[in-house]
Chain A
Amino acid sequence: MYSAVFAQHKVYGAEVFGVTLPQNFERTIGLNDYATLQFESKSPKPNAYGFLIFEHKDELKLAEANLDIIDYTLNSIEPYTIREGFNYIKKPYIAYERGFNYAYTEFETNDTELGHIYFLQTVIETKDYIYQIIQYCGYNEKEIMKSDFVNIVNSFKVDE
């Protein structure tokens, strides 16, 4: 047993990360069961919501998932693409910002049950993790809320 104890290896569960929410946003729960971090707007801002999910790249390798950031984006928005009225506003594109790879996409869905919704989805690739941030609001509020959504994405920070 002596050798078993020493022949070990370390698996990392998470890294220190955070976002800064603009005024009239707060942490919330109940948007997505897999989310590590969830938030919503408060009055007087229009209703807007967002959540963040992260995965270790080693888990993606084990699941034989493609690590390409665009493929990851397409895969993660797949549940939305089958909704009625799905339409890309901006197809996924890559940017290199603040030391990380980012992939952005904007789309809308429009069905009788949930109404007309605008989505901004961002995938961020750090050295060991992939993060996805999905933010959404009523389609008519997108011009008002988009700057807050972008500010939240830009505030994403990993502590080394």
Chain B
Amino acid sequence: MKFKFLVITAFFLASITNAQSSLVGAESFSVNLPAGYSRAVGTNDYATVQWQNEEMHSYGFVIIENLDELKISGVSSDLQSYMDICISNYSGFPQFKSFAPKLFKNKKGQENFQKQISYYNEELESTVYLQFNIFKSKNFIYQIVNFGNEDFLKVSKENTDYIINNVVLPQ
């Protein structure tokens, strides 16, 4: 009987010891940049990867968040709800405008939600145009932002489309 008690105790202790949790910190992803674009720093402090095309005044970055962190914050990981949160950081700026969003699959078959906005940047004394694309993998949500000056949505469209169509994320 005493031995049985020891075995049970040992099993209980082993269970406690094994009560660990593995946290995924990041997953491998990459962005294919068209000619003229290169890795950059300084476009956004929270970005994991950033790029620029100085000649075209075209810039971009990716911010990732673990879905478990969103759960802890009580934030929905629904693409549209997450987009609303991203956009809300800009909606208070002068002359804020947002354009019709669209939900589509990129050329790699990954669903994403896209929205374009603009606002007047008083510091730069010009209108800034931004395109947000929200993707989601099993463990992370990705906010991909491309932005530039007044000509950005027209002049950089082909390059921005290329970036969005060729981003490589885990399924």
Q: Do A and B come from one complex?
A: yes
| Chain A residues proximal to chain B, CB less than 8 Å | 1, 3-5, 7-23, 25-29, 33-34, 36-39, 52, 54, 56, 58-59, 62-63
Give 10 nearest A-B pairs by CB, closest first. A7-B35, A14-B26, A13-B49, A23-B19, A37-B25, A4-B35, A17-B25, A12-B30, A13-B48, A62-B41
Q: List the B side residues contacting A3 at CB < 8 Å.
A: 35
Cα distance, A149 to B49, chains bound together (Å): 29
Cα distance, A62 to B27, chains bound together (Å): 23
Q: Across the A-B interface, how many residue pairs have beta carbons closer than 8 Å?
A: 118
- CB atoms of A26 and B21 under 8 A apart: yes
Cα distance, A1 to B159, chains bound together (Å): 9
Knowing A10-B31, A62-B39, the reply to whether A21 touches B62 (Cβ < 8 A) is no
- CB atoms of A29 and B46 under 8 A apart: no
Knowing A21-B21, A21-B23, A23-B19, the reply to whether A33 touches B28 (Cβ < 8 A) is no
Cα distance, A34 to B64, chains bound together (Å): 11
- CB atoms of A11 and B39 under 8 A apart: yes
- CB atoms of A9 and B32 under 8 A apart: yes
Q: Residue on A with the closest CB to B27?
A: A16
- CB atoms of A14 and B29 under 8 A apart: yes
Knowing A7-B34, A8-B162, A27-B68, the reply to whether A13 touches B62 (Cβ < 8 A) is yes
- CB atoms of B22 and A20 under 8 A apart: yes
- CB atoms of A14 and B27 under 8 A apart: yes
Q: List the B side residues contacting A27 at CB < 8 Å.
A: 21, 23, 66, 68-69, 72
15 contacts between A and B (CB under 8 A): A4-B159, A7-B35, A8-B162, A9-B38, A13-B30, A13-B49, A14-B29, A14-B64, A27-B72, A29-B69, A36-B48, A36-B64, A54-B25, A59-B41, A59-B50
Q: List the B side residues contacting A21 at CB < 8 Å.
A: 20-23
Cα distance, A12 to B169, chains bound together (Å): 11
Taking the nearest CB of chain B, how far is it from the CB of A67, in angstroms?
A: 14
* Beyond A10-B168, A14-B49, A18-B24, 14 extra complex contacts between A and B, CB < 8 Å: A4-B158, A5-B34, A8-B37, A12-B30, A13-B31, A13-B64, A16-B26, A19-B22, A19-B25, A20-B22, A27-B68, A27-B72, A54-B26, A59-B50
